[in-house]
Amino acid sequence: MLDIKFIRENKDIVIAGATKKHIDIDIEALIALDDRRLELLKQIEAIRAEQNEMSRRISIEHDTIARNQMIEEMKIVKEDMNVKDEEWKEIMKKWQEIMLTVPNVPDISVPDGASDEENVEYKVWGEKTNFTFTPKDHVELMTALDLADFERGTKVAGFRGYFLKNAGALLEMALWRYFMDALVKKGFSPMIVPSLVNRATLFGTGYLPQGEEDLYKTQDSDYLAGTSEVATMAYYSGEVIEKEKLPLKFASFSTCFRREAGSHGKDVKGLFRVHEFYKLEQVILTEASHETSVKFHEEITANVEELLQSLNLPYRIVLNCGGDLGLGQAKKYDIEVWVPSMEKYRETHSASYFHDFQTRRLNIRYKDTDGKLRYAHSLNNTAVATPRILISLIENNQQEDGSILIPEVLRPYIGFDKIEK
């Protein structure tokens, strides 16, 4: 959420940012509502001061007639206060609803564009795998090697359900541990975080109100989060962090759930767009500095690049255009890994920074060196999301005989160098 003072003082910038993100919002209407909010606040404060003064005078008035007269006048003032209070509540409800829909201002480097088709490629690493035979897709490979069962997955869990089995399960767990170990060595604190979160947490991280259709909801009106970022960000909600502790770096793991609303008919085969998956997420809380946010944004992106390169997986990085940014994101990179069967790069990681958009909603602050309370800045990037990354790992490492070579860095975690019948 943006500061209303910032919105009022930088109206044109906020409007331009919303336009770049292709988000329709009436900033003029918000400012007019805020004008009325401020006017009401002054009136309520004046009435409250009048009430306090009248209460004081009544308490010391000994003349019964005069005292009764002041009590009658007090009733009129109270009625006026009740009317103003009701209007205040209605104004605040509308004000908060609109404030929650005002998008963060995108960084000046974010390109124009309406969708992911207009994201800008700016880095490519590795050569696309060149096979001397006709390669198979991951579904065929994993089924033949008894690494997954998609038919029984559908029977048990419904559409897009799956079982990972045998070396398939071990390979997934090897990836979790390899990526976690690498991040811990870089100073990230490991955490296993809840998937079940309350509504306030999702509002705080910016996944509500806009993203509700993509969330699973429980009978108790809680939600299953689509990323471990959600619970991690709420860990310090409502707290003041000691500045000396910043930056705080977390490597957070959880089961994740997404309904994939609107994706019917897209990537229905295999492991690409499943409803239940796992994520190890990099999350950083840092001081309120644009330069620091940019520095850490590059760092968490480089962390993933280093690990993908160690797995010898060809990838590219794209700079997301305005229309492909979420409500709170100031800038985002998508990292896309080469999938031979699709003959294209597919997104596996997203690295974003938010400035104080999330922390303002979650009320996460720190005390600066001058003693002033400031909202921290937040960033996140996927470390590894499974089982999606298995698609590229398996397809790029397949052999002509149908076996799959295990990348050397994963062999200590899985215990063998090849998966074969």
Please tell me what DSSP assigns to residue 398.
Answer: B
**Any idea where the domains of the chain sit in the sequence?**
4-99, 116-419
Q: Note the pLDDT tens digit of each residue in 351-365.
A: 999 999 999 999 999
Q: Let me know if 258 is a catalytic residue.
A: yes
Q: Let me know if 117 is a catalytic residue.
A: no
Q: Note the pLDDT tens digit of each residue in 63-100.
A: 888 888 888 888 998 899 899 999 999 999 999 999 99
Per-residue pLDDT, averaged over 339-346, amounts to 96
Q: Is the pLDDT of residue 263 over 70?
A: no
Q: Is the pLDDT of residue 278 over 90?
A: yes
> Do the Cβ atoms of 114 and 26 come closer than 8 Å?
no
Q: Is the pLDDT of residue 266 over 80?
A: no
Q: How confident is the model at residue 303 (pLDDT cuts 50, 70, 90)?
A: very high
So what's the pLDDT on residue 70? Answer: 87
Gyration radius (Cα) of the chain, Å? 27
- Cα–Cα dist 189/280, whole Å: 12
Q: How confident is the model at residue 264 (pLDDT cuts 50, 70, 90)?
A: low
Domain 116-419 coded CATH 3.40.50.2000? no
Q: How confident is the model at residue 265 (pLDDT cuts 50, 70, 90)?
A: low
- Cα–Cα dist 155/266, whole Å: 20
- Cα–Cα dist 340/285, whole Å: 37
Q: How confident is the model at residue 159 (pLDDT cuts 50, 70, 90)?
A: confident
So what's the pLDDT on residue 74? Answer: 86
So what's the pLDDT on residue 262? Answer: 62
Question: Which of 347, 374, 403, 411 is an active site residue?
Answer: 347
Q: Let me know if 388 is a catalytic residue.
A: yes
Q: How confident is the model at residue 323 (pLDDT cuts 50, 70, 90)?
A: very high
- The percent of residues in the chain predicted with pLDDT above 90, rounded, is 86
Q: Note the pLDDT tens digit of each residue in 305-319.
A: 999 999 999 999 999
* CA distances in angstroms from 201 to 40, 192, 300, 357, 362, listed in the order given: 30, 17, 23, 14, 8
- Find, among 70, 76, 69, the residue nearest to 54 by Cα: 70
- Cα–Cα dist 119/335, whole Å: 11
Question: Which of 360, 361, 365, 388 is an active site residue?
Answer: 388
Question: Which of 67, 199, 259, 273 is an active site residue?
Answer: 273
**Segment holding 122, helix H or strand E:** strand 120-125
CATH: 1.10.287.40, 3.40.605.10, 3.40.47.10, 1.10.287.110. Which one for 4-99?
1.10.287.40
Question: Which of 195, 228, 252, 350 is an active site residue?
Answer: 350
Per-residue pLDDT, averaged over 225-239, amounts to 97
Ranking 82-91, 341-350, 352-361, 374-383 by mean pLDDT, the lowest is 82-91
What global pTM score does this model have?
0.92
